Structure 1
């Protein structure tokens, strides 16, 4: 066998593999003999058909299978020995293989196009344009959360006359009869001038207005209708009130404390507010941690411009996702893909140079943490620990083992980021929640 490498570009190459008869014939003959022992061919006793007949029947398929096995192993072994980092998968060049005469040929040649990066130099001594933000809560966020809790656990009533923040249930109709829908109208989503028309109304009252001008937010979202229907809500409409729905806020008492946090967890209004603040802080810190790490990754990627084989990668992505993504789709998403690929290459290089490894125990703990968060958010927290081993096993063994590998990669990336944080100079900055929301939007 002969393998040669032709680097025809800075980041692309052609791997040529020549296979001779000596590379495959012994294994092919052995397999055909095994077929002969097990064959059941008409006119012969089981396993007694002539070798030549069995070879004529199965020889070509056995040869193709063996050649493919040799190609796969030899190509993978060869690429592992190289100093460069191979990207994607080798792309077979079809020109040679299409003209193969499997019956007559003794020697075969196959070409594979590969994409790679020659060397990855990571510099952690440079200045990174990144900050480590810490979010500080104000009374505003705590009070908003408290108001939401009181509304969530409040009592629904149906008053006779409407007031601000009520929901009016009724029939929305276009004046020309082109649209009619029964829905719920939240009065807190109306602009000041339009709101006055809906205050002090009773059942069966009819209000005329233009929904497209009166409603402040997204019409489809506010009224819980399709975008197609929302586009029709412009012009003269009437709303006939069928019912008035109002939520009376829950009182701050022990009953509410127990409903929100469980029996005997909180015993005073001060403790209740402190608990709310603690949970809000924890949630925001999780969000800001993710934001800080994304900023750090973006800065590392921006400061390490790798020479990626773009043409090769685009071709490979289309082939690897045949039927799922078109060339246009790949072209559109390619900048995002290259950023993720660059970070992955940098992370792996940092891990390699500094002997950073994700251990099995780390994967187990991170997966348990993820499962706890998912179960808690779905209201199944009580079932969490007693069934943790089952949840853990089902997840890590799922998706043909890919879930485990994804968690392994996630753990290593976390360790790499922690390492980088300790190596580079990152300024700390405390910001308000509003400022953090602005950063997220931008």
Structure 2
């Protein structure tokens, strides 16, 4: 039986020396050689009648070397299992310059391996305080959503002229001069906009306009701020600075007007399928609840993003950096240079730390994903592909069969499993941390997120 000695050679880094004696491997070598002699197919000899000396001369050294290495690896693996060492990746063999095996001169052999040990660390979110910005659904939000749904499920008509701020204009934007002469090579783009997206002055100018009419505008003057930023992006520009001084000829290609749906049970059923709603008050309450669910989800996402940084940046953890860099250099299909390793290590380090943190949370809090949870998640994902289609009245055996097929796709299962584990980790983290709840407006919330994204890009 191999003997293994362990020596610390650095932070969370140990050297394992595996020693085997001639008596441990040589009998197995001789046995393997005899078996090989009986099975060898060599021209000029009947199977099993090849002289042992010939087999040994032709194949013996390779068999000998394999047997030595097999015994070393077995001794190493048995030791790791017995000691229950929690290590990174696999042991890295250290240079063994003296290893020159010879079947004609069998001796005791010794091999050195380097191992990187996983660190012990603590996670204590109960002592942490995290901001939780909550947006409350307002009557204005409810009114806007109801109007959007009335328009979405409404009927489009084509009046001859613009008569309302609710008219829809199909427009062609063309970069031009003040007289409407199109700039050669300039921007040209079709778009569809509501009249109310224009500034008050331009809304007045558009009253009575019809298909074929044109007007030359500066985007800065023609649109309200939110809509202007959207138009600028749709035309392919990065920001307002890129369109400063530019003029565009707008040609009306179609005038439309949506006849809004009336607030009745038929509309309620179409707008919110699967819900039984009889009155406008019930409809408004359902819309408000949906809006609140949306904003609560946004608040949760923002909190989870914050918790990710808290867990990653504030969890004290030491790593065997030297070992990990060696492993990073040799673990791929091709060896990496020292420069490549140094460039990749910071990202690798963060990913590794996050994996250790999430693994600890999952293990200690029993957050494993069950087969039923996997199947249910895939089922919900497939159903989401159908949007608002009513699938509840028919036979859904096809859906179960489809999901069963997805469960045989290893990549699909792995992606779904990782997503569900991540959700469980963050849901757990949310329950642990002390939330500092602050109510903000939707505009303030959006601005905070935009500023945060700007800081990280």
TM-score, length basis structure 2: 0.70
CA distance in structure 2 between the partners assigned to 1:312 and 1:213 by the alignment: 62
The C-alpha deviation readout for 1:131-169, integer Å capped at 9, x for no partner, is: 667654222333333233223323334443356563424
Q: CA deviation at 1:258?
A: 2.4
Q: Find the residue that maps to 2:284 and give its secondary structure.
A: helix
The C-alpha deviation readout for 1:160-194, integer Å capped at 9, x for no partner, is: 33565634243625544123544225357976389
Structure 1 portions without partners, runs of 5+: none
1:370 aligns with 2:377: yes
> Cα gap change, 1:222/1:70 in structure 2, threshold over 3 Å: closer, same or farther?
farther
Q: CA deviation at 1:305?
A: 0.9
CA distance in structure 2 between the partners assigned to 1:271 and 1:199 by the alignment: 38
Pairing partner for 2:283 from 262, 272, 279:
272
Pairing partner for 2:391 from 378, 382, 387:
382
CA distance in structure 1 between the partners assigned to 2:299 and 2:279 by the alignment: 30
Q: Find the residue that maps to 1:238 and give its secondary structure.
A: strand
> Cα gap change, 1:272/1:304 in structure 2, threshold over 3 Å: closer, same or farther?
same
CA distance in structure 2 between the partners assigned to 1:436 and 1:305 by the alignment: 31
Q: Find the residue that maps to 2:261 and give its secondary structure.
A: coil
Please give the root-mean-square deviation of Cα atoms over the aligned residues, in Å. 4.7
Q: Find the residue that maps to 1:266 and give its secondary structure.
A: coil
The C-alpha deviation readout for 1:195-250, integer Å capped at 9, x for no partner, is: 55983443333433456886732567424x597xx979973443444334554433
Q: CA deviation at 1:120?
A: 2.5
The C-alpha deviation readout for 1:47-76, integer Å capped at 9, x for no partner, is: 544445445555566556556655555444
Pairing partner for 1:202 from 188, 196, 210:
210
Question: What corresponds to 1:119 in structure 2?
Answer: 120
CA distance in structure 1 between the partners assigned to 2:201 and 2:74 by the alignment: 73
The C-alpha deviation readout for 1:315-362, integer Å capped at 9, x for no partner, is: 5446546679954762453564255145236426xx44xxx4356xx5
CA distance in structure 1 between the partners assigned to 2:250 and 2:344 by the alignment: 48
1:178 aligns with 2:185: yes
- Deviating more after overlay: 382-391 vs 369-378: 382-391
- Deviating more after overlay: 137-146 vs 35-44: 35-44
Q: Find the residue that maps to 1:17 and give its secondary structure.
A: strand
Question: What corresponds to 2:439 in structure 1?
Answer: 431
CA distance in structure 2 between the partners assigned to 1:395 and 1:92 by the alignment: 40
CA distance in structure 2 between the partners assigned to 1:153 and 1:324 by the alignment: 60
Number of equivalent positions: 426
Equivalent pair of 1:250/1:256 in contact (CA under 8 Å): yes
1:260 aligns with 2:271: yes
Question: What corresponds to 1:155 in structure 2?
Answer: 155
Equivalent pair of 1:210/1:234 in contact (CA under 8 Å): yes
1:357 aligns with 2:363: no
Question: What corresponds to 1:192 in structure 2?
Answer: 199
Q: Find the residue that maps to 1:8 and give its secondary structure.
A: strand
Equivalent pair of 1:172/1:238 in contact (CA under 8 Å): yes
The C-alpha deviation readout for 1:111-137, integer Å capped at 9, x for no partner, is: 44433345334557x621236676542
Pairing partner for 1:333 from 320, 323, 347:
347
TM-score, length basis structure 1: 0.72
Larger radius of gyration between Structure 1 and Structure 2: 2
CA distance in structure 2 between the partners assigned to 1:246 and 1:329 by the alignment: 58
**Structure-to-structure mapping, 1:70-219, within 5 angstroms:** 70=71, 73-81=74-82, 85-93=86-94, 95-96=95-96, 101=100, 109-122=110-123, 127-130=127-130, 136-162=136-162, 164=165, 166-170=168-172, 172-173=174-175, 175-179=182-186, 181-186=188-193, 192=199, 195=202, 199-200=206-207, 201-209=209-217, 216-217=228-229
> Cα gap change, 1:13/1:173 in structure 2, threshold over 3 Å: closer, same or farther?
same
- Deviating more after overlay: 245-254 vs 407-416: 407-416
CA distance in structure 1 between the partners assigned to 2:15 and 2:23 by the alignment: 24
> Cα gap change, 1:374/1:409 in structure 2, threshold over 3 Å: closer, same or farther?
closer
Question: What corresponds to 1:5 in structure 2?
Answer: 6
Structure 2 portions without partners, runs of 5+: 177-181, 453-457
- Deviating more after overlay: 408-417 vs 332-341: 408-417
- Deviating more after overlay: 142-151 vs 46-55: 46-55
CA distance in structure 2 between the partners assigned to 1:367 and 1:5 by the alignment: 42
